[in-house]
Amino acid sequence: MFGLQLSTQVTAGDVLTLVGLLGGSIGLVLVLLQIRANNSQARGRFLLDVINRYFDDPEMLRLYHLLDDGHFRFDRNTYKGSLDAKAVSRTLYYFDTVQFLVDKKIISLKDVVILRYRIMKFFRDPEIQKALESYYMLSTSKVCRTREISLLCGMCLPKQI
């Protein structure tokens, strides 16, 4: 009744259909590669913006240089409202934002490895620890227990001599 007949003849329509399928497939692959490249570039720009937010902030850089030179001193009596308090707050907020982005898997710990030394310098500094514990009521041991970024930065490891 309804028999299906197979033919070994290749018509021009069959060739055009095959060419169309191949062309469409190649076009789809090229579009997917372009989308991937664009996403990678956008992610790179976003990551650069996140990192540059630290390096472009004069208050955070001033604090970093004070820490790096060993000149930062926490004085409970003069800390509130000082430039140092503002810089510590901004730096703490920045690192908290980086942690949020890591927690949400928007960026990875590998992405922020460039900040490792600066984060270690901040959280390991005894004067910063005094400020965090006294003014912010935030112990660095709590930061170590609750922050994945602390693993990257080695904040919970003993200081190396």
Q: What is the 3-state secondary structure (H, E, C) of 79-103?
A: HCCCHHHHHHHHHHHHHHHHHHHHH
Task: Give residue-wise pLDDT tens across range 115-139.
Answer: 888 888 888 899 998 988 888 776 6
Host H or E run for residue 122: helix 116-124
Nearest-angstrom CA–CA distance, 21 and 41:
30
Closest listed residue to residue 119, CA positions, set 58, 85, 59, 68: 68
> What pLDDT shows up at residue 123?
85
> What pLDDT shows up at residue 160?
42
pTM: 0.68
Nearest-angstrom CA–CA distance, 117 and 155:
10
- What is the mean pLDDT of the segment spanning 102-124? 84
Task: Give residue-wise pLDDT tens across range 60-90.
Answer: 999 999 999 999 999 999 999 999 999 999 9
% helix, strand, coil for the chain, step of 5: 75, 0, 25
Task: Give residue-wise pLDDT tens across range 12-67.
Answer: 888 888 888 898 889 888 888 888 877 778 888 888 888 889 999 999 999 999 99
